[in-house]
């Protein structure tokens, strides 16, 4: 009956009276406060128990709460983490065997287990960090929605008006409805006066809906989620909880699985590739060292005993497994987790509550933002922004006080009296407890203007009690109130307001700039019409104010239906608009600069939508604006044809939003969609990133969204875009650094093991642990916590299927890896001569310590190289003074390295170095910076190697038709028409 609305079915059931009779309720008395008897005569211990057993309570079933353990398991369900777990188990088993039975069984310090344990620790840290983040976000979301439980409503119980909590409402209750109420249940209209509801959050219908009896041809159904704009009335509750319109949608929103993000898919592919290459390198090393050892055994004078051979083969296997462990990027999941956790924490301060952690990085690749108008681009506060009163013009909103002060005293008094008296709006608390005007948006705007001018509407209304009120009606488009004139006997003042042209037709006089009444001749009338037309062209909603004086005879002759609207005196006309939020235009400019197309989808009329879109910078020259009905009539092919130039859709429905998202995703766009209504939830779920409104949004919309805009401000979407790109950049920065370290370590281990006489690697297992595990984890902390800069908006978004590693990144990875391997091998083979070290056991120990120290400092300075990964970013020190996390990590690494070299001799196989040797290794490490600059200056040879350059179309998502191209095409057409 209610979904969809079916008045015929209501009449078939006998109308509201029969509904009440069936529900055992008297509309004039309401339910009995202590109702304990069921329909079958059974007595129950609790009030309304029988009623609630049949119709349910007005609460939704507890959502299946995701436990921390489930979040932990979900976090672990990642290919990279599973691969790391296997590597840690193998490494731990081999390490323990080597410590107890192998080549290190006689060592003072047993460190074979450390590598496997460290990798296991990294997996545990990543899993717990992800799970804790998700758990905290869910708690924040529950806290945000908890406010809705505090509302109360007025209802009839035992013939008395009482206030009850929304959870206590039963089917059959008679609710008393007032302006500003948000209906918590479904009901059928019983009685009332001039009751109007805004059901846009539930149905998408932007026009206010008059409520009344079905027999009078009006809408008798009052849906949960609707907001009462004006009028009063009563309704009988017919559906509560999960059976209500709102409840059904809320329950539906609890289903659905989150899909993988673009970054997650790319990282999974990369992890598989690294595993394959690491295994290949390990197998190659195993085969090479085995063949080398067997050849050496064959060439030896005596074949070694089998026990010695077995021990050597175990050592070869351990070294091969170490290569696999080194190759695995265990810091990568940590970098992603830290970057996302850091970004979401900072985004909350920027007004974005991230419900789905992955939405943060997905937003970084957004190519289209489809935004609402009301409340997101605008302030959702209808305001007087222009006007003409007594021939004095108000040009801008900030001039309101000066404009009012310039009016004659008589005009001031009559203007404020008209605004205060001829209105049903009033001040009261909203859902958040803030005091605001409640009622018709236009009347709220006029009262707001009056308040700026010093009007106390309450005292004005208290001093002027109306004798007649003719409420605003959509048919007449006017409202009239008649009051006695204070201090005069037998005189009454008629205040009228409404549609400008209608009021003007009823006026014969006007108030001039001196406050005197003058006749309206044709010249004056034309000037007023010109002003009205000017306001209309600016998409302002115009309201005219007029008045006249009548005596008691005229008052008594007035009918109850027709207001006395003849021979009025024109006061003036006001232009009302929902103004843009401060900074919205610049935010749209930033989106365009970032290559992100902004499209406005609104329920407003096309003229208002165009005007606001132009003011915001969304509708540019050459761009197109259409209405929802026009969009729905198009075939999918026609919709695809218009999409590249479509910038505004007016009179849209929720279905239009859904179709828009589908069409854009068919064009491989990454779509961000905003919505605040219950009916927006399908589009929010379908979009790659769904933004709901924290203030104006319904709980259903919040449930369906990925990110909640706590301040409902479009600027917060741009902040989310910046943080999303920063997350993607952070992961790429770390990936470039991680792969450089891993490739260098694998190659150095492989080459030094194969070509050394005793098969010993340049770096010991524990030294590799420090380089591979600790430095990677710290690097994740350093490179993943740099905030976004303005430069992230100076490039187009990435293609959805672009390569994770660009040509420039591969160039830096391979260039640095080659340089580091060469410099370390050179130092290993010729270091004794270069640093004038003695050819003794101590001299060799000093050299190997210097190799280890040089290797670490090469990574320290390469981290600075990796702070910038874009082709034209040559200054790697840019903004480093503000990157506190990065600087602290570098200080910690250098300090730890000093302690390891000086005091870690037994565990790390090092000896203390003197000042010259420290300076020498530091200088070798610093060479990483000029080498990095030289690599950056190499030509782009991506096409030769089949790789994607950062500036290539394969990496960058460029709009099919740019705003610049649209402007040029429109200008050419203008010239052609002129010629």
Q: Looking at the annotation, which residues are catalytic? A: 372
CA distances to 393, 398, 501, 577 from 536, in Å: 16, 20, 12, 11
Strands (E), 694-756: 707-709
What three-state secondary structure class fits 171? coil
Measured distance between the N- and C-terminal CA atoms of the chain, rounded to whole angstroms: 61
Tokens of 764: 């010991």
Distance CA 278, CA 286 (A): 12
What three-state secondary structure class fits 546? strand
What three-state secondary structure class fits 966? helix
What three-state secondary structure class fits 188? strand
Tokens of 546: 């007029």
Could you count the other beta carbons within 10 Å of the beta carbon of residue 316?
19
Taking alpha carbons only, the member of 560, 555, 561 closest to residue 484 is 555
Distance CA 902, CA 892 (A): 15
Residue found under tokens 């660009």:
806
Residue found under tokens 């500003």:
180
Structural element, H or E, at residue 222: strand 221-222
Distance CA 529, CA 502 (A): 11
Apex 831 CA angle, 830 and 832, nearest 5: 95
Tokens of 587: 């935010």
What three-state secondary structure class fits 256? coil
Whether the bond into 4 is cis, omega within 30 of 0 = yes
Q: Tell me 772's DSSP state.
A: I
**Alpha helices per DSSP H over 331-471:** 331-349, 357-364, 400-405, 409-421, 441-452, 457-463
Residue 158 falls in which region: left (phi positive, over 0), alpha (psi -120 to 50) or beta:
left
Q: HEC profile for 685-722?
A: HHCCEEEEECCCCCHHHHHHCCEEECCCCHHHHHHHHH
Q: Tell me 372's DSSP state.
A: -
Distance CA 263, CA 797 (A): 13
Say if strands 491-498 and 541-551 run parallel, antiparallel, or are unpaired.
antiparallel
Residue found under tokens 């004005």:
460
CA distances to 335, 443, 809 from 871, in Å: 22, 56, 9
418, 574 in Cβ contact below 8 A?
A: no
Q: Tell me 396's DSSP state.
A: S
What residues are paired with 344 via a beta bridge? none
Tokens of 482: 């008649």
Question: Half-sphere exposure (CA, 13 Å, Cβ side) for 345?
Answer: 12
550, 483 in Cβ contact below 8 A?
A: no
* DSSP states of 441-510: HHHHHHHHHHHHTT--HHHHHHHS--SEEE---TTT-EEEEEEEPTT-SSEEEEEEEE-HHHHHHTEEEE
User: CB within 8 A of 315, min separation 6: which ones?
Assistant: 98, 102, 103, 759
Tokens of 790: 């303005």
Distance CA 807, CA 829 (A): 32
Residue found under tokens 């843009």:
580
To the nearest 10°, the Cα dihedral for 674, 709, 353, 199?
-70
Task: Name the phi and psi angles at 627, rounded to 5.
Answer: -100, 160
Distance CA 958, CA 422 (A): 54
């Amino acid at each position: 009956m209610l979904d969809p609305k079916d008045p015929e079915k209501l009449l078939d059931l006998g109308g509201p009276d029969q509904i009440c009779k069936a529900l055992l309720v008297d509309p004039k008395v309401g339910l009995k406060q202590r109702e304990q008897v069921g329909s079958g005569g059974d007595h129950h211990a609790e009030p309304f128990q029988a009623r609630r057993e049949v119709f349910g309570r007005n609460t939704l079933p507890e959502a299946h709460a995701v436990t921390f353990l489930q979040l932990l398991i979900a976090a672990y369900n990642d290919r990279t983490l599973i691969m790391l777990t296997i590597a840690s188990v193998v490494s731990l088993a081999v390490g323990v065997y080597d410590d107890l039975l192998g080549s290190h069984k006689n060592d003072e310090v047993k460190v074979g287990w450390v590598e496997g344990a460290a990798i296991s620790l990294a997996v545990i840290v990543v899993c717990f960090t992800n799970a804790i983040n998700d758990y905290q976000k869910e708690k924040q979301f529950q806290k945000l929605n908890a406010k809705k439980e505090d509302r109360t409503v007025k209802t009839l119980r035992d013939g008395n008006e009482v206030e009850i909590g929304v959870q206590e409402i039963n089917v059959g209750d008679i609710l008393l409805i007032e302006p500003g109420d948000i209906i918590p249940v479904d009901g059928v209209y019983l009685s009332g006066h001039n009751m109007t509801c805004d059901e846009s959050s539930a149905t998408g219908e932007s026009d206010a809906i008059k409520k009344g009896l079905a027999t009078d041809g009006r809408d008798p159904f009052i849906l949960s989620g609707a907001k009462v704009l004006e009028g009063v009335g009563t309704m009988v509750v017919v559906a509560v909880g999960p059976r209500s319109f709102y409840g059904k949608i809320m329950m539906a929103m609890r289903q659905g699985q989150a899909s993988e993000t673009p970054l997650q898919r790319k990282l999974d592919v990369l992890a598989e590739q690294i595993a394959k290459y690491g295994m290949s390198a390990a197998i190659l090393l195993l085969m090479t060292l085995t063949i080398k050892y067997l050849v050496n055994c064959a060439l030896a004078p005596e074949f070694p005993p089998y026990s010695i051979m077995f021990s050597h083969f175990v050592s070869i296997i351990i070294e091969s497994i170490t290569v696999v462990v080194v190759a695995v990027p265990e810091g990568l999941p940590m970098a992603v987790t830290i970057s996302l956790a850091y970004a979401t924490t900072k985004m909350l301060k920027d007004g974005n509550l991230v419900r789905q952690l992955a939405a943060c990085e997905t937003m970084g690749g957004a190519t289209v933002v489809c935004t609402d108008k009301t409340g997101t681009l605008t302030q959702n506060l209808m305001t007087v922004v222009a006007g003409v009163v007594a021939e004095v013009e108000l040009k801008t909103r900030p001039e309101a006080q000066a404009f009012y002060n310039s009016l004659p005293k008589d005009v001031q008094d009559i203007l404020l009296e008209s605004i205060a008296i001829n209105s049903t709006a009033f001040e009261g608390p909203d859902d958040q407890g803030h005091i605001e005007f409640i009622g018709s948006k236009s009347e709220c705007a006029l009262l707001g203007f009056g308040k700026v001018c010093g009007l106390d509407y309450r005292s004005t209304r208290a001093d002027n009690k109306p004798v007649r009120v003719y409420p605003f009606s959509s048919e007449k488009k006017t409202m009239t109130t008649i009051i006695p004139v204070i201090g005069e006997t037998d005189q009454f003042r008629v205040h009228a307001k409404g549609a400008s042209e209608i009021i003007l037709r009823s006026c014969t006089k006007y108030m001039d700039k001196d406050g005197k009444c003058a006749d309206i001749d044709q010249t004056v009338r034309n000037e007023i019409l010109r002003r009205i037309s000017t306001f209309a062209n600016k998409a302002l909603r115009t309201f005219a104010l007029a008045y006249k004086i009548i005596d008691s005879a005229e008052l008594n002759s007035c009918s109850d239906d027709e207001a006395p609207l003849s021979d009025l005196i024109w006061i003036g006309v006001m232009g009302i608009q929902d103004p843009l939020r401060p900074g919205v235009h610049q935010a749209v400019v930033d989106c365009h600069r970032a290559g992100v197309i902004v499209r406005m989808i609104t329920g407003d009329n096309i003229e208002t939508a165009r005007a606001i879109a132009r003011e915001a910078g969304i509708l540019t020259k050459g761009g197109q604006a259409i209405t929802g009905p026009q969009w729905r009539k198009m075939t999918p092919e026609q919709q695809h044809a218009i999409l590249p130039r479509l910038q505004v859709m007016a009179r849209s429905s929720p279905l239009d939003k859904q179709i828009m998202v589908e069409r854009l995703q068919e064009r491989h766009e990454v779509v961000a969609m905003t919505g605040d209504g219950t009916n927006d939830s399908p589009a929010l779920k379908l979009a790659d990133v769904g933004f709901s409104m924290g203030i104006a949004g319904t709980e259903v919309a919040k449930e369906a969204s990925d990110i909640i805009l706590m301040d409902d401000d479009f600027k917060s979407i741009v902040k989310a875009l910046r943080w999303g790109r920063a997350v993607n950049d952070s992961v790429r920065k770390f990936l470039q650094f991680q792969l450089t370290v891993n490739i260098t370590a694998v190659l150095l281990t492989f080459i030094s093991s194969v070509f050394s006489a005793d098969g010993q690697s340049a770096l010991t297992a524990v030294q590799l642990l420090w380089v591979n595990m600790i430095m990677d984890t710290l690097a994740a902390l350093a490179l993943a916590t740099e905030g976004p800069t303005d430069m992230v908006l100076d490039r187009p978004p990435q293609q959805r299927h672009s390569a994770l590693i660009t040509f420039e990144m591969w160039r830096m990875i391979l260039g640095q890896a080659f340089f580091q391997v060469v410099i370390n091998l050179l130092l290993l083979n010729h270091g004794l001569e270069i640093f004038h070290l003695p050819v003794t056991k101590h001299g060799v120990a000093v050299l190997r310590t210097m190799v280890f120290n040089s290797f670490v400092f090469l990574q320290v300075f390469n981290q600075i190289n990796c702070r910038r990964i874009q082709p034209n970013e040559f200054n790697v020190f840019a903004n480093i003074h503000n990157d506190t996390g990065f600087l602290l990590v570098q200080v910690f690494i250098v300090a730890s390295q000093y302690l390891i070299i000086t005091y870690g001799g037994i565990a790390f196989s090092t000896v203390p170095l003197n000042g010259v040797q420290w300076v020498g290794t530091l200088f070798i490490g610093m060479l990483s910076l000029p080498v990095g600059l030289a690599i950056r200056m190499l030509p782009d040879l991506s096409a030769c190697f089949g790789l994607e350059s950062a500036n290539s179309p394969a990496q960058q998502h460029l709009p099919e038709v740019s705003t610049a191209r649209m402007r040029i095409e429109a200008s050419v057409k203008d010239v052609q028409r002129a010629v």
